[in-house]
Chains A and B, each alone.
Chain A
Amino acid sequence: MTGEQIMFYLLGGGAVLASAAMLLPPMGRSPIHSAISLIVSFFFLAGLYALLSAHMLSVLQIIVYAGAVMVLFTFVIMLLNLNADELQESRITPGRIAAGILALFVFGKLATAIQLTTAGAQSVDLSDPGFANFGSVPEVGRMMYTTFLVPFELVSVLLLVAAVGAVVLAKRSMKYVDRPLPPPAGYEHPAPSDDEGGHDAHAHGGGH
């Protein structure tokens, strides 16, 4: 076994173990422990990417997933602070058994497919000069701004939509100004902004 293979099995095994720990007790019983296992799994994955010479991807995996996404994850889990009786005890139901069988079936298919594919595959020597820039930041950047320019720009629209949507949905105290109602008959002064003021104060109070 070469050093690279040893590293692969170490990292891959670590990723699998961490993922398993995410789901199974004792770690899987508490959401926060699951989240931590997921982070560990991400780190192993980042290591695998680095092994594949995809340095940029590897670091992005850590910055984006382990750094940003998972911190938000843990943040939310901590704020919700679910206790044991809110988290239903996982029971074995027929649906779950069916899902498990299906998952095993798909896994079997994938394993077969991988085996069939690798049978005739040739290994690529990444130290070959043709791969000098493989996975490097300039190369990824070049691809992004040439061949994949359109999807790259589209993703920015997607992110914008997500941000706008999140703000729209989350900003519950967004003040709704209704159409001014005509004053009731026999009422001299148009309604002073008593109600309006209350609304305002509420909007401010809720905003922070």
Chain B
Amino acid sequence: MIKLRNVSKQFGNKQIISNLDLDINQGEIVGLIGLSGAGKSTLLRIINNLEQATSGEVIIKDNIKFGFIFQTFNLVNSLTVRDNIKLALVNSTFTESEKETKVIEVLNLVGLEAYIDSKPKELSGGQKQRVGIARSLIADVDVLLCDEATSALDPFTANEIINLLGELNKKLGLTIVFVSHQLEIVRDFCDRIAIIDNGVLCEVDTTINVFSKPKSNISIKLLGNVLGFERYLDDPTIGLITCYSKSEIKDCYTALLENNVDIEATYQHHTKQGVFAHFFIRSAEQIAGYEIRRINGL
């Protein structure tokens, strides 16, 4: 649906994105993660034509419509919810009554039909973001580009927005590109993750693979805190076993106990693709049936 080929972007002498290749498929939720200034928002803006790539190609399937969800909601404060949403239809051929029907439809989808006449000042952060989502939906978009869409929200509200986006992904087949530094949200929400560092795409894989077997140093740095790696990164005596199902986790735990292996810590995670767990163990050279990786050798 979206193919980025050898895309680079420079601002003056500063290289923001370097020779980046990425495919985004229809209906999937792709997370773009990286440190601040890594180039992920710029990449999103290139996809949406808010910025032009200095070189390379952005190949987009014909007639694809993009919606953009901003971190700061970006509502016009002097307009009502209705008029904010109608902004997306200014140049459409719909009649006023058709526009009104569509506004009610999208407000139903985001659960805000009772707030149609409210001004943004009267809404909470989560409600404002719902209006932002409704404003994108009314234009019948195919791809929703979310730039830190939940970063300005408290964890509870952020989850509500994520659930809403997840429902819209299922119900409308929306493709979602989700830039965020909230790794727990990315883990629970995205099908695939692309990790960007200094404008370079370091890793792109399914969420479970990125989280269970991070390959690049930047992945370990970024995900370390979530995965529990961080505490052991400099300890060569620590080994790691990763299990990919509930039964495997149970069997592994039993085996570790039977072999009197010291378990330093365990971390269990649920992703969209399933459950996995890390066992951090000390002083075990081998345990039958399980691959032990040394963390500093990841």
Genuine A/B complex: no
| A contact set with B: CB distance below 8 Å | none
